[in-house]
């Protein structure tokens, strides 16, 4: 019988030959998911033989990863802001950079009263669920164009016992207004911000597997920033704030868009790689 260590060595070599970055880490994470343990626990069981069913499932996982299917879709989960969330190919995989967006919103929420938040294009619900888990007095409205996506976000909210704090809405910000929604303290969006021209330069995992509509606006990359800035201004209370995650090189243009829609005190925040990543403005 093949041991855990032998399986990892063979699989990491195979993934490296296929061009998968961090091939050994990927091999270890996939096997840990099959066995049902933490990755580091594998080091305590290197000599343990794998069963036939484990071997077959591992081969299938490695084959899929070798075809550049994202690891998170294979395992069906991702960790975000300390929370395990369900993901599948209908939703964008939450990125570590978006944790900075959540952190900055939490820093701006009032501790004296309940806050009302609108999350436009909620995807897996990662932003809304993280905010609801970490802030006791909040009411959040999630929107997305896909009922299938909203189902995933509802499952994640239910998993972390915050579903009563979140209202889920099938809504398209590009074609619909926000008249049926209440006034908000915070509007947040991590919109599709990759331009049509830049989409072809993305990793194969993104191009071939993640939902294109969640990645690119198939235009110049600024479509959603314009529409959300225009439509959210009058839905924000006095002192309310609009938060965006942005891509590298977009801060100047998005700041101008927000200024043209009457937002004040516009602030840009860099990520841990010193890249402009978060921008927010205030209604005065």
Residue 223 contacts by C-beta under 8 Å, 6 or more apart in sequence?
174, 192, 217
Answer for the pair 269, 241: CB distance below 8 angstroms, yes or no: no
Write b or e for each residue in 142-163: b if 16 or more Cβ atoms lie within 10 A of its Cβ, otherwise e: bbbbbeebbebbbebbeebebb
> How many domains is the chain built from?
2
Q: Are residues 50 and 88 in the same domain?
A: no
**Rounded-to-integer distance, Cα 72 and Cα 75, Å:** 5
Instruction: Decide if 73 is inside a domain.
Output: no
Q: Are residues 53 and 187 in the same domain?
A: no
Instruction: Decide if 261 is inside a domain.
Output: yes
- Mean residue pLDDT of the chain comes to 96
Q: Are residues 136 and 60 in the same domain?
A: no
The CATH number of residue 244's host domain is 3.40.50.150
Q: Reply yes or no on whether the pLDDT at 266 is more than 90.
A: yes
Residue identified by tokens 């606006």 is 217
Given this model, what pLDDT does residue 194 score?
A: 97
Q: Are residues 157 and 278 in the same domain?
A: yes
Structure tokens at 243: 């938060």
Given this model, what pLDDT does residue 259 score?
A: 98
Residue 207 contacts by C-beta under 8 Å, 6 or more apart in sequence?
199, 200
Q: Are residues 172 and 35 in the same domain?
A: no
Q: Are residues 100 and 224 in the same domain?
A: yes
* Other CB atoms within 10 A of residue 15 CB: 21
Instruction: Decide if 72 is inside a domain.
Output: no
**Rounded-to-integer distance, Cα 263 and Cα 254, Å:** 11
pLDDT tens digits, residue range 39-73? 989 988 999 999 999 999 999 999 999 999 999 99
Q: Are residues 114 and 212 in the same domain?
A: yes
Q: Reply yes or no on whether the pLDDT at 246 is more than 90.
A: yes
Q: Are residues 272 and 137 in the same domain?
A: yes
Instruction: Decide if 75 is inside a domain.
Output: no
Q: Reply yes or no on whether the pLDDT at 113 is more than 90.
A: no
Q: Are residues 35 and 93 in the same domain?
A: no
pTM of this structure:
0.95
Q: Are residues 9 and 117 in the same domain?
A: no
Structure tokens at 218: 């198939």
pLDDT tens digits, residue range 116-170? 999 999 999 999 999 999 998 999 999 999 999 999 999 999 999 999 999 999 9
* pLDDT band, very low/low/confident/very high, at 24 (cuts 50, 70, 90): very high
Given this model, what pLDDT does residue 43 score?
A: 87
Residue 251 belongs to domain spanning: 84-282
Task: Check the CA dihedral 108-113-119-120 and report its sign.
Answer: negative
Q: Are residues 212 and 130 in the same domain?
A: yes
Q: Reply yes or no on whether the pLDDT at 112 is more than 90.
A: no
The CATH number of residue 63's host domain is 1.10.8
């Amino acid at each position: 019988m093949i041991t855990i260590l032998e399986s990892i060595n063979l699989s990491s070599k195979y993934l490296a030959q296929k061009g998968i970055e961090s091939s050994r880490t990927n091999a270890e994470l996939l096997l840990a998911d099959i066995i049902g343990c933490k990755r580091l626990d594998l080091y305590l069981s290197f000599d343990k033989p794998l069963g036939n069913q484990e071997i077959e499932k591992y081969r299938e996982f490695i084959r899929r990863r070798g075809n550049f299917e994202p690891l998170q879709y294979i395992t069906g989960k991702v960790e975000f802001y300390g929370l395990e969330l369900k993901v599948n190919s209908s939703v964008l995989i939450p990125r570590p950079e978006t944790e900075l967006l959540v952190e900055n919103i939490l820093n701006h929420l009032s501790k004296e009263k309940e806050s009302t938040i609108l999350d436009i294009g909620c995807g897996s619900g990662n932003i809304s669920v993280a905010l609801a888990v970490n802030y006791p007095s909040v009411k959040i409205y999630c929107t997305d164009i896909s009922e299938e996506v909203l189902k995933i976000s509802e499952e994640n909210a239910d998993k972390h016992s915050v579903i009563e704090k979140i209202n889920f809405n099938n809504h398209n910000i590009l074609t619909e207004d926000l008249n049926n929604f209440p006034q908000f303290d915070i509007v947040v969006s991590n919109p599709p911000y990759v331009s049509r021209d830049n989409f072809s330069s993305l990793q194969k995992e993104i191009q071939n597997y993640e939902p294109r509509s969640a990645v690119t606006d198939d235009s110049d990359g600024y479509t959603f920033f314009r529409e959300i800035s225009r439509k959210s201004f009058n839905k924000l209370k006095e002192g309310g704030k609009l938060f965006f995650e942005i891509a590298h090189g977009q801060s100047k243009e998005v700041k101008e868009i927000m200024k043209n829609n009457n937002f004040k005190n516009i602030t840009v925040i860099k990520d841990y790689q010193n890249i402009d990543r978060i921008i927010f403005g205030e209604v005065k």
